[in-house]
Amino acid sequence: MKSSNFLIDYQCPQCGAPAVLDETDRLFSCEYCRVKSYLTTKDYFRYTLPSKAPENIKVLYFPYWRFKGMLFSCVSDGVREKYLDISYQAIHSPFFPMTVGWRSQALKLKFVTPDTEGRFLEPGQPFENVMDTFEGRLIGSVPKPVFHQAHIGESLSLIYSPFYTNSRIYDAVLNEPVSSSLPDDFTESVFPGGNPDWKIEFLPTLCPECGWDMDGRRDSVVLICKNCDSLWQPEDNEFKKIKFAHFEEKEKDIIYLPFWRIRADVSEIELKSYADLVKIANLPKFVKQNYDIKFSFWSPAFKIRPQTFRPLAQKVTLFQPREKLIYNLPEAELYPVTLPLSEAVETLKINLVSFIKPQKKWLPKLCDIEIRPRSFLLVYVPFIEKHHELIGLSSNFTITKNQLKMAGNL
């Protein structure tokens, strides 16, 4: 799995100081004025590659969909996982390159703003069509039939690459032609477009409840107010409070990893209690009365490579943690929440497939099974920190520090 984030030239919205952001950065703290702001958008971020077009040349910005994330495929022998980092034309055209290649990692990008000069072409094919194309190619590498697919932890954006025309189409990054001679009747006007009208939204990071500064890592999707013990996630251009708890642990060298606990209604299957889980997953336990605790799906609330993500979600779900929940923030270090609830919900059917028995019976019925989330809770689970790894104290789950470090590129 090879992936890297691109870098973005940026200016502080408060004082105008220059800064360089990582692709996954959402919480920005200016080194000059110390003001923090949270970057958000209604749909997806838009970026431009740097143009080196000659002066007085009209620049044409051609759009490319960029997708990063995990793709899980349910096939007859289980679940296959793959990490994707792809770009593809957002307008079908034989005159422009099919992808942006590696230049998004090699060059610093900029956010598209209303002040960006040039003509920006509107995407002509929706992202869903592009993903259908890629999934069709990827299906060729996995056994058929494919019963279900899910994209998890996805990052979707538009990258605009600059071009200009002069009997041929020229790449304005390198000032080199990328097409043969254009037809005499070729005109840019066949592509709808105009001046960009998109802008980034900035949310102040003051706690909506007490006015205190909220904290988080640069790529956090949930911010913490330690003054009033509250957690907040951006939604509809504002911060909304979320429910959370932790399992108390008094050992030293503890770090708490976040997990989404999701309770849901599952059709076609009786899966409401731990006793139901024992039967469905064929666990080596006897069903007793105290197994009537409510069943919950569990998902990591942090990004990690797909080969680790799915087994971890499966193990925690089968374990069904039952320690007493404490509804405040623990004193120990908290690992940041980098996978939003909306993405965790997409894991539920993949998680179900990973433990249901017999798989061959249920895989063909996946399309008929509906999983409807009812409630959620963000739970911080204690792990003891060793030299190279983190070990769950009650569960004995192990995650290497290197896996978490590498997740910064996901």
202 C-beta neighbours (distance < 10 Å), count: 16
- The encoded tokens of residue 174 equal 């390198």
pLDDT digit string, tens, across residues 284-342: 865 555 678 899 999 999 999 888 999 999 999 999 998 899 999 999 999 999 999 99
> Comparing C-alpha atoms, which of 268, 208, 211 is closest to residue 241?
208
- DSSP state, residue 206: B
pLDDT (0 to 100) of residue 108: 81
Taking CA atoms, 58 is separated from 52, 55, 119, 282, in Å, by 12, 8, 8, 66
Residues of the chain with pLDDT under 70: 1-6, 104, 135-140, 285-290, 408-410
Note whether 228 and 215 are within 8 A (CB). Answer: no
- How many whole angstroms separate alpha carbon 360 and alpha carbon 64? 39
- How many whole angstroms separate alpha carbon 347 and alpha carbon 152? 7
CA angle 30, 341, 155 (to 5 degrees): 60
Which 3 state secondary structure label does DSSP give 365?
helix
Residue with tokens 């997740």: 407
pLDDT digit string, tens, across residues 176-226: 998 888 877 777 777 888 998 888 888 999 999 999 999 999 999 999 999
DSSP H or E stretch at residue 355: helix 348-355
Query: Is the pTM of the predicted complex or chain greater than 0.85?
Result: yes
pLDDT (0 to 100) of residue 398: 87
Contacts of 126 (CB under 8 A, 6+ apart): none
- How many whole angstroms separate alpha carbon 209 and alpha carbon 287? 45
Note whether 18 and 9 are within 8 A (CB). Answer: yes
pLDDT (0 to 100) of residue 2: 46
* Bridge partners, residue 145, by sequence: none
Helix axes 348-355, 306-319, angle to 10 degrees: 70
